[in-house]
Structure 1
Amino acid sequence: MEAISINLGNMPIFDGHNDALTRLWLSDDPDPVHAFIHQRLAGHMDLKRCQQAGFVGGMFAIFLPPYAYVKQHHPNKLFDPRATDFSQQQIEQICLEQLNLAQQLAQRSHDIQICTSVEEIQRCRAQQKLAMVLHMEGAESLQHNPDLLDVFYQAGLRSIGPLWNRPSRFGHGLNAKFPHSPDTGAGLTVEGKAFLQRCADRKIVVDVSHMNERAFWDSVDILQQPIVATHSNAHALCPQARNLTDAQLKAIRDSQGMVGINFDVAFLRADGQRNADTPIDVILDHLDYMMDRLGEEYIGFGSDFDGALISTELEDVTGISKLIERMQQRHYSSELIEKLCWRNWLDVLNRIWL
């Protein structure tokens, strides 16, 4: 990519993970697309705040929320209040509805575009558009209908986390109380391994952020492409099962992969507590630790905006400017800040997509 002189006061941000599409799907607003484009929303992101923050793009997740959460907080979204879980048909419908929301955002705003190449992301950055890279967090919608992968791919999907916390046909999932090692059960199933290969054949990013340790190493054995964790932190600093051990970080580095730092305080704090009264410097502590093990080229942001409890000091997407100020206070060079804020993400996407 071309060398560009960057004003740190107007640093572009490309982020590895957010749940804005799921928040829009859960919204009670009769027109959530209009609200995202034209209003200030209750969550961490909307178009105006992204523009204010210099947030030029990121991975926008299509995600199936837990049934119990939807039943408690958004019962109007349930298909059958008497059921105890979503049917496979409903899972597929929910994910297709979130895909449709992404398509509507791009159709109804000249300032938003679904991107499938780094060149398109770069053009969006130059034109001050919001670049959406479609990601699927947990691939349950694809587990019984493999042809759906091509439907989503043709619509722009370029990144998939095959597993979430729940078990599926693809693997055991990852769910454990704090503190815990990432070794929480079995790895990928035969179907899961075949699914990873199908994704790799299409040059889709495979996200290991919600994989347990055995599934992670299964993925390392299968994939001949960079290993990516879109929103994970250092297990040595916060022993959540979903955070990455030093051995995992080394494997990601060796693959020329990528880790996006998760801003959720429960995955940052040494005590694992969901406490928003957490200084944002802890994000930099994880950055420093992982740069020591990954190098400067393989790490960036993976905020989990609209799907996380973040520091009240950070507040929302506009708070990234405070992170940049803290980086400067820790004497990060302008070149390093540029790498962490956007360039590293675009480099790893190039390594996978080309």
Structure 2
Amino acid sequence: MFTIDAHLDLAMNAMEWNRDLRLRVDEIRESEKGLTDLPDRSKGTVSFPALRKGNIGIVVATQIARFVKKGSTLPGWHSPEQAWAQTQGQLAWYREMERIGELKAITDIKSLEEVVSLWQSGVSTAQLPIGYIRSLEGADSLVTLDHLHHAYQDGLRAVGPAHYGPGRYAFGTDSSASLTEAGKALLYEMDGLGMILDVTHLCDKAFWDAMDIYQGPVWASHNNCRSLVDHNRQFSDEMIQALIDRGAVIGGALDAWMMVPGWQRGVSDPNEMNCSLHTLFQHMDHICQLAGNADHIGIGSDLDGAFGKEQSPYDLEDISDLGKLPEIFAGAGYTAADIQKIMHGNWLQFLRHALH
């Protein structure tokens, strides 16, 4: 089934993990044998061939670069200007992938429909360009609001103001504070441009501030349920209901620590923790029960977001295995129409309203 994945760190994998995503997943793993600099070496799950094999024709692909003050325990760049330059290097990679036909940028309704038509035409997906909507995960790299305008002109269509810890515009996961004045100004500017606000990673206080201030389209590209795994990274039922009321779509994430309670990074094993694709279904189904329908969920896998098979569902070998989800939903009584919504329809409907 044609599938949309609303969160992949493609450029980070290419530029910081030094992965040639044109290779098959097994070839990337082989090229990393013996490397120990990162815990997910030789365990990656994402590549262009795997996306095509899984009929994943549209993705939301990130730029990401955090600014950190001296003494921070988080990795990042020591000035917003350095962070901006990092995101521009990531943009250069996306452009190069466009030039050679691996990717096709989606920035408006016309380009969206072109990609959808191409992937639903019935031709072999083996050589099709993968459509991508560019999103900025954490806004620290926007040195000024003029930089936001520059990024928008370059095709940026979604922004998540925060990532982990305290940020220049908003506080994110494992931190807590109301939106800064700069954060409020950023939201007003994004609203004027008609951009998508990604509330993923916003701390609770910043989330509620943003929901009050922002009048434009809102999504949560990769978030699971706090009622199932109690952590501030997840959304409470009250937050999920607020997103449902706004017409948002919430992407189910496949990072194991967000899926099962008690996960210990670098220690826990997906098999031992019984972390499977059905576990993701449980989070997505919980949102459907709150909504009373299947109109507000999709996939936002976050696969290879600084983790690999060691922290993914045990029944997922690579990203093409997202194709197992329809059978899981069907087995739980979801209709064929609902499953189409979950795999691509909800994201498509959202994008058709959000893009100009």
Normalising by the smaller structure, the TM-score range is 0.7 to 0.9
2:21 counterpart residue number: 36
Partner of residue 213, structure 2: 222
Structure 2 equivalent of residue 138 of structure 1: 138
Query: Root-mean-square deviation (CA), in Å?
Result: 2.2
- Name the amino acid aligned to 1:133: I
Scaled by the length of structure 1, what TM-score is found?
0.84
1:260 aligns with one of 251, 258, 266: 251
2:103 is the counterpart of 1:87: no
Q: Distance in 2 between matches of 1:343 and 1:37?
A: 27
Indicate if the aligned counterparts of 2:195 and 2:216 stay in contact, CA closer than 8 A. no
CA contact (8 A) 1:20 1:305 kept: no
Match of 2:202 in 1: 211
TM-superposed deviation, 1:172: 2.5
Distance across 1 between alignment mates of 2:157 and 2:218? 14
Q: CA deviation at 1:319?
A: 0.9
State the shift of 1:120 in Å.
Answer: 1.9
Task: Measure, in 2, the Cα distance between the counterparts of 1:66 and 1:321.
Answer: 37
Q: Which residue of 1 aligns with 2:318?
A: 316
* Residue number in structure 1 paired with 2:122: none
Are 1:22 and 2:25 an aligned pair?
no
Letter in 2 for 1:97: G
SS of aligned partner of 1:133: strand
Aligned residues with identical type, % of pairs: 25
Q: CA deviation at 1:331?
A: 2.4
Matches of 2:110 and 2:282 in 1, distance apart? 32
Where do residues 172-191 of structure 1 align in structure 2 (5 Å cutoff)? 172-175=171-174, 184-191=175-182
Displacement of 1:117 after TM fit? 2.3
Task: Report the TM-score when normalising by structure 2.
Answer: 0.83
Paired letter, 1:318: S
> Which residue of the partner structure matches residue 164 of structure 2?
165
Q: Of 105, 121, 126, which residue of structure 1 is paired with 2:112?
A: 121
> Quick one: distance in 2 between partners of 1:233 and 1:313?
19
Moved more, 233-242 or 275-284: 275-284
Match of residue 56 from structure 1? 57
What is the distance in 1 between the residues matched to 2:276 and 2:56? 22
The reply on whether 1:280 has 2:270 as its aligned counterpart is no
Can you give the 5+ residue segments of structure 1 that lack an aligned partner in the other structure?
Answer: 1-10, 68-77, 79-83, 176-183
Q: Distance in 2 between matches of 1:208 and 1:151?
A: 22
CA contact (8 A) 1:235 1:244 kept: yes
Question: For residues 245 and 27 of structure 1, what CA distance do their matches in structure 2 show?
Answer: 33
Shift in Å at residue 96 of structure 1? 0.5
Stretch of structure 1 that moved more, 305-314 or 93-102: 305-314
Asked whether 1:98 is paired with 2:90, we answer yes
Instruction: Write the deviation string for residues 321-351 of structure 1: whole angstroms up to 9, x where unpaired.
Output: 2222212222221101100001101111222
* Cα distance, 1:303–1:21 mapped onto 2, change above 3 Å: same
Q: 2:241 & 2:203 partners in 1: Cα distance?
A: 16
The CA distance in 1 between the partners of 2:85 and 2:286, in whole Å, is: 41
Between stretches 240-249 and 218-227, larger displacement belongs to 218-227
Contact 1:260 1:302 survives alignment (8 Å): yes
Aligned AA (1:209): T
Provide the rounded CA distance (Å) in 1 between the counterparts of 2:239 and 2:167. 23
SS at match of 1:37: coil
Is the CA contact 1:37–1:105 (under 8 Å) kept in the aligned structure 2?
no
Unpaired runs of 5+ residues, structure 2, are 30-43, 69-74, 120-128
Q: What is the alpha-carbon distance in structure 1 between the residues aligned to residue 237 and residue 5 of structure 2? A: 23
User: How much has 1:306 moved relative to structure 2?
Assistant: 1.5
The 1:193/1:221 distance shift into structure 2, 3 A limit, reads same
1: CA distance, partners of 2:345 / 2:225: 21
Q: Does 1:241 align with 2:240?
A: no
Provide the residue aligned with 1:13 in structure 2.
3
In 2: Cα distance, 1:223 partner to 1:120 partner: 26
Q: Matched residues in 2 for 1:255 and 1:327: separation?
A: 25
Q: Deviations over 1:156-182 (max 9, x none)?
A: 11011011113122123321xxxxxxx
Q: What SS is found at the alignment partner of 1:36?
A: coil
Picking from 289, 292, 297, the partner of 1:292 is: 289
Q: Which residue of 2 aligns with 1:8?
A: none
Residues 221-257 of structure 1, C-alpha deviation per residue, up to 9 Å, x if partnerless? 1111343111001110011211111111111111111
Q: What do residues 136-191 of structure 1 show as CA deviations (whole Å, max 9, x unaligned)?
A: 0001110x32211122111211011011113122123321xxxxxxxx52121011
Q: 1:85 to 1:123 in 2, by over 3 A?
A: closer
How far apart, CA to CA, are the structure 1 residues paired with 2:270 and 2:170?
Answer: 32
Q: Give 2:22's aligned amino acid.
A: I
The aligned counterpart of 2:344 is 342
1:24–1:293 CA distance, 2 compared to 1 (3 A): same
Note closer, same or farther for the CA distance 1:259–1:170 as it changes in structure 2 (3 Å cut). same
Q: Give the paired residue count.
A: 316
1:293 corresponds to which letter in structure 2?
A: L
Q: What are the Cα deviations for residues 16-73 of structure 1, in whole angstroms up to 9, with x where unaligned?
A: 1011110101134xxx5xx323544342222111111000111101112698xxxxxx
Cα offset, 1:89, TM superposition: 2.4
